[in-house]
Amino acid sequence: MTATSLSVRLAPWLFTVALFAAWEAAVHLFRIPQFFLPPPTAIAQAFVDYWPAIYRNSLFTLGTTALGFALAVGFGLALGLVIGWSRTIYAGLYPLMIGFNAIPKVAVVPILVLWFGIGAVPAVLTAFLISFFPIVVNVATGLATIEPELEDVLKALGASKLDIMRKVGIPRALPYFFGSLKVAITLAFVGSVISETIASNVGIGNLMLQAQAQFLVPLIFAGLIALAVEGIVMYWLMAVLEARMTGWAHRSGFAQG
């Protein structure tokens, strides 16, 4: 029992180390040139050499992503509730939203630059635009899947729509909402980095673009690793938040707690 849980707990670290070790070995074994694929040791060296730049730009990207994500949470939650509230609004907005979601957000960045100039604002807005959709859909789904029998029980007692929403709909939608945050935060990084790559002079996306221009291949990869670390940390935060807020939906874990 404990042996299993220990190996399960160690597995993520072991697998990560194994991946980097395999990578390092492959680079040396097949004599892959560093400007094509640098080994992890060279990337680590780039982290040391360029730490101030990586640190500053990572923080910037984290900031724009978090801000865009926060906007997406607020807006997505509100829109999801509105869509879940009314069948008419749902029918009217759904095709529009699907159409909007189908637009590659990279195509929106030039327009944002036109309106707001380059830098933080388009990055925040791109992160927001790309990440609100899953939140809206999930909240609306949570509301739409209220059991009709339960709705009947409450309606027969004279429950208003607001009552049903408060007592059943919103608590029911919460696991969907918190689940969607994990998807949304990952997408928010995609949005901010796209925008920084095209239209910014700060941020990890911009750092990588400059590194590419100067042929600093290990630094490009260092940027990728920095993004991956930020992505994992934020995802983990959302997962912890989800587990704390909606423990009842994860029964086995809850029963242990």
Partner 1 sequence: MADLTAFVALEGVSHAYGGAGSTLAVDGLTIRVNRGEFAAVVGPSGCGKSTLMKLATGLQFPFAGTVAVAGEVVRKPVKIAGMAFQAPTLLPWRTTLENLLLPLEIVEPHRGRLRRHKADYVARAEALLASVGLGGFGGQYPWQLSGGMQQRASLCRALIHEPALLMLDEPFAALDAFTREELWCVIRDLHAVRGITVILVTHDLREAVFLADRVFVMSARPGRVLSERVIDLPRPRDLEATFTPHFQEIVHALRDQIVRARQ
Contact pick of 106, 159, 183, 209 for partner 1 (by CB under 8 A): 159
The whole-angstrom separation of Cα 51 and Cα 99 is: 41
Q: What angle do the packed helices 170-199 and 120-144 form, to 10 degrees?
A: 160
Q: Report the nearest approach of partner 1 to the CB of residue 84 (Å).
A: 17
Task: Find how far residue 211's CA is from the centre of its chain.
Answer: 25
Asked if 147 touches partner 1 (CB under 8 A), the answer is yes
The whole-angstrom separation of Cα 149 and Cα 147 is: 5
Asked if 161 touches partner 1 (CB under 8 A), the answer is no
Contact pick of 33, 156, 213, 244 for partner 1 (by CB under 8 A): 156
Asked if 35 touches partner 1 (CB under 8 A), the answer is no
Contact pick of 26, 150, 237, 240 for partner 1 (by CB under 8 A): 150
Contact pick of 8, 251, 256, 257 for partner 1 (by CB under 8 A): 251
Give whichever of 82 and 170 is closer to partner 1, judged by the CB atom.
170
End-to-end CA distance of the chain: 17
Phi, psi of 117 (to 5 degrees): 80, 175
Asked if 167 touches partner 1 (CB under 8 A), the answer is yes
The whole-angstrom separation of Cα 188 and Cα 126 is: 8
Show the tokens assigned to 209. 């673009």
Task: For residue 127, give Cα distances in angstroms to 58, 192, 207, 213, 232.
Answer: 15, 5, 18, 25, 17
Asked if 244 touches partner 1 (CB under 8 A), the answer is no
Q: Which stretch binds partner 1 (CB under 8 A): 18-26, 78-86, 93-101, 164-172?
A: 164-172
Write out the residues near partner 1 by the rule CB under 8 A.
Answer: 147, 149-150, 152-159, 163, 167-168, 171-172, 246, 248-249, 251, 255
